[in-house]
Amino acid sequence: MAQNSFPLAVLWDMDGTLVDSEHYWSISQNNLAQVYGAHWSEEDEKGVIGSSLYDSSALIKDKFQIQDKSVQEIIDHLTDEVIEQLRAALPWRPGALELLMELKQAGIKTAMVTMSMRRMAMAVAESIPFPAFDVVIAGDDVKYGKPHPEPYLTAAARLGVHPSECIAFEDSITGLNSAAAAGTHAIGVTNLLTLPEGPDRRIISTLVGLSAKNLHELRLDA
């Protein structure tokens, strides 16, 4: 494949990669902890970043000893609170919106691949002042969440491209593992977590300065 034909698609994680929303989840989780007299530490929070909401909410139900809510009800409760916070202020990660706009202008396909629920993913996607994504894959669209490769494999298939023709941007180890396992060019963008380097991924400090013209430099085999 010629350099100027790569990537055919860019796949975006949402929380912490596209929008700076991880602290909103932390606020909601801590609020729930207070209701049930439990403790939710910074390490607890970091431990669930990038994970399926089903997995993280099951952990919360057990840790907080919640008897009066199902896992789905915990997911719904947290999602409602985070959507409310995002509607009040939607903070974009540096360089994300600018790069998205460039990709659309260049005709490069895009997908959002998030473990948040579809209604939250669409609330973010629909707030963007241009049609940013060709495909949205959310946590309730797949059987297996990150770190399983299904979310990214599904996104690539829906876009009609091979995973090896895609760049995937992630901010979590869980998400990077998912993107790498799917066979994409997995790019970690440092945010709240230290992301380990590896032969199947590359770590960068920011999206600022990236453009449709220089994305080919992120190829793992470049």
Please choose, from the candidates 49, 65, 42, the residue with its C-alpha nearest in 3D space to the C-alpha of residue 145.
49
- Whether 82 and 99 map to the same domain: the answer is no
- Whether 189 and 121 map to the same domain: the answer is yes
Of 73-77, 170-174, 189-193, least confident by mean pLDDT is 189-193
- Whether 26 and 65 map to the same domain: the answer is yes
- Whether 27 and 50 map to the same domain: the answer is yes
For residue 27, the domain's CATH number is 1.10.150
- Whether 194 and 119 map to the same domain: the answer is yes
Model pTM?
A: 0.85
- Whether 107 and 70 map to the same domain: the answer is no
pLDDT at 22: 81
pLDDT digits (tens, 9 = 90+) for 85-118: 888 888 999 999 999 999 999 999 999 999 999 9
- Mean model confidence pLDDT for the chain: 92
- Choosing from 88, 107, 135, the residue where a domain stops is 88
For residue 199, the domain's CATH number is 3.40.50.1000
Identify the residue with better confidence: 51 or 208.
208
- Whether 213 and 104 map to the same domain: the answer is yes
- Whether 131 and 213 map to the same domain: the answer is yes
- Whether 13 and 27 map to the same domain: the answer is no
When divided into structural domains, the chain yields a total of 2
Of 3-7, 60-64, 77-81, least confident by mean pLDDT is 3-7
Residues 193, 71, 88, 27, CA torsion sign: negative
Distance CA 57, CA 16 (A): 18
pLDDT digits (tens, 9 = 90+) for 123-146: 999 989 899 999 999 999 999 999
pLDDT at 2: 39
Question: Tell me, what amino acid is at 43?
Answer: E
pLDDT digits (tens, 9 = 90+) for 1-33: 334 589 999 999 999 999 988 888 889 999 999
Average pLDDT, integer, range 195-216: 95
Average pLDDT, integer, range 57-86: 93
- Whether 111 and 81 map to the same domain: the answer is no
pLDDT at 4: 59
Distance CA 6, CA 214 (A): 10
Question: Tell me, what amino acid is at 125?
Answer: A
- Whether 16 and 123 map to the same domain: the answer is yes
pLDDT digits (tens, 9 = 90+) for 180-200: 999 999 999 999 888 999 999
Q: Does the pLDDT of residue 153 top 60, yes or no?
A: yes
What b-and-e string marks burial along 65-92, b requiring 16 or more CB atoms within 10 Å of the CB? ebeebebeebbbbbbebbbebbeeeeeb
- Choosing from 42, 66, 88, the residue where a domain stops is 88
- Whether 36 and 128 map to the same domain: the answer is no
Question: Residue 52: which domain range?
Answer: 22-88
